């Protein structure tokens, strides 16, 4: 991916979602960063099952805290995904190194994380009214693929003629 973005899961709770994000990382070249505490062990069977044989191909880094993740990833633009925003994910012009920040299941990002001045913008994936949230791995996939689309899917195998 010549327009690489970085996914940052803050305190993920569900092993299967993180396993799916590992697979997303392997398939797109996006880095996956996990900020502790994690709600599962990295050897969890559900994590391994969701990641399948892609786990070794994924670019995954585990940080002891969100502060440690920021220390490793900044300076970069940080886009915090939340249902409580008005800027759509498609309104952003993604750049290499951007950080896509997602909160834990099922609560999402805390108000103090969203208010942090290091967050460039709070952005939303549109949903129907009266719905709480989209699955974490699905939300990350939508955002990563939008960033990659904006870069013309650089580095991908072209299957459009198949």
- Per DSSP, the residues of 7-60 read EEEES---HHHHHHHHHHHHHH--EEEEESPPSS-TT-HHHHHHHGGGGGGSEE
Structure confidence at residue 132 (pLDDT): 80
Structure confidence at residue 74 (pLDDT): 97
Nearest C-alpha neighbor of 127 from the set 90, 83, 91, 92 = 83
| Domain residue limits, the chain | 6-150
Instruction: Give the CATH architecture of domain 6-150.
Output: 3-Layer(aba) Sandwich (3.40)
Mean pLDDT score, 66-92: 97
Structure confidence at residue 78 (pLDDT): 98
């Amino acid at each position: 991916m010549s327009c690489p973005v970085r996914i940052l899961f803050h305190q993920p709770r569900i092993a299967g979602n993180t396993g799916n994000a590992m697979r997303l990382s392997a398939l797109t070249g996006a880095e996956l960063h996990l900020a502790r505490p994690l709600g599962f062990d990295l050897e969890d069977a559900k994590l391994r099952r969701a990641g399948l044989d892609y786990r070794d191909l994924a670019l995954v880094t585990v940080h002891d805290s969100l502060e440690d993740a920021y220390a490793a990833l900044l300076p970069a633009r940080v886009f915090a995904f939340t249902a409580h925003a008005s800027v759509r994910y498609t309104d952003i012009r993604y750049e290499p190194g951007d950080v896509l920040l997602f909160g834990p299941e099922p609560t999402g990002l805390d108000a103090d994380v969203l208010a942090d001045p290091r967050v460039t913008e709070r952005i939303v994936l549109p949903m129907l009214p009266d719905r709480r949230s989209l699955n974490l791995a699905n939300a990350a996939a939508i955002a990563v693929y939008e960033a990659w689309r904006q870069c013309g899917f650089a580095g991908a195998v072209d299957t459009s003629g198949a």
